[in-house]
Amino acid sequence: MTKIIVSGFSISLDGYGAGINQSLINPIGENGTGLHNWLRATQMFHKMIGKEGGLEGIDNDYAIQSMAECGAFIMGRNMFTPERGEWSDSEWRGWWGDNPPYHAPTFILTHYPRAPIEMEGGTTFYFISDGIISALEKAKALSNGKNVKIAGGVSTVRQYLQAGLVDELHLAISPVFLGSGEEMFNDINIPALGFVVAKRDITENATHIILRK
């Protein structure tokens, strides 16, 4: 059964999922990279960027799980590019090089239509300009019966949550304060959406929270 999931999604202790002023050198916004310290330390992440080493253990298990069983991905355009407005840089094909870590159809929400981009390793970027429901239907249709992951960023996750379309969340709360940025929970009522804390795992680098309905 296809589940709609959010997984490996990092937030700060003060509830921000990204810093302010996203840019080419600060893809997660200013001071945002600390959010992913738990992930960057893992063996999974090391492998993903072609490096040796990295930590095994709970964080690594969650990191692996966060990309497993996903047949399609949905992300907001700001997760794909620092550019805003009309597409001007036709060479930009995401932050991830020729072989992105998705290895599956990946749907990018945007107000500006664009032709799909087929990457190496099974990732194809589709640009969806007719809304989150349309993106979800297309993602489900191409997910091969596996899960559809709402990859981010904060605004995209919030939109799918507010529409009641998310079945399960794994949040990784990093032991950092950002002070400003994109707020995760403002006007998102987790209990009213029917979620309960199903599991909680704690490491030096994160508190992992599993929310299920």
Q: Is 198 one of the binding residues for a second copy (CB under 8 A)?
A: no
Q: Is 20 one of the binding residues for a second copy (CB under 8 A)?
A: no
- Looking at residue 164, its amino acid is G
Q: Is 6 one of the binding residues for a second copy (CB under 8 A)?
A: no
Kind plus residue range of the DSSP H or E element containing 202: strand 196-202
Is the Cβ of residue 142 or residue 165 nearer to a second copy in the bound state? 165
Q: Is 15 one of the binding residues for a second copy (CB under 8 A)?
A: yes
Is the Cβ of residue 94 or residue 167 nearer to a second copy in the bound state? 167
Alpha helices in the chain (DSSP H): 37-40, 43-48, 58-67, 77-80, 132-141, 154-162
Q: Is 183 one of the binding residues for a second copy (CB under 8 A)?
A: yes
> Interaction with a second copy in 159-178: which residues (CB under 8 A)?
173, 175-178
Q: Is 180 one of the binding residues for a second copy (CB under 8 A)?
A: yes
Close Cβ partners of 68 (under 8 Å, ≥ 6 residues apart): none
Q: Is 155 one of the binding residues for a second copy (CB under 8 A)?
A: no
Q: Is 21 one of the binding residues for a second copy (CB under 8 A)?
A: no
Q: Are 175 and 34 in contact (CB under 8 A)?
A: no
For residue 176, the minimal CB distance to a second copy (Å) is 7
What DSSP string describes 96-150? S-SS-TT-SEEEEE-SS----EE-GGG-EEEEE-S-HHHHHHHHHHTSTTSEEEE
Is the Cβ of residue 121 or residue 194 nearer to a second copy in the bound state? 194
Please pick, from the candidates 13, 49, 68, 198, the single residue that binds a second copy as defined by CB under 8 A.
13
What's the CA gap between 172 and 102, in Å, rounded? 19
Binding residues vs a second copy (CB under 8 A): 13-15, 31, 173, 175-180, 183-186, 188-192, 195, 197, 200, 202, 207, 209, 211
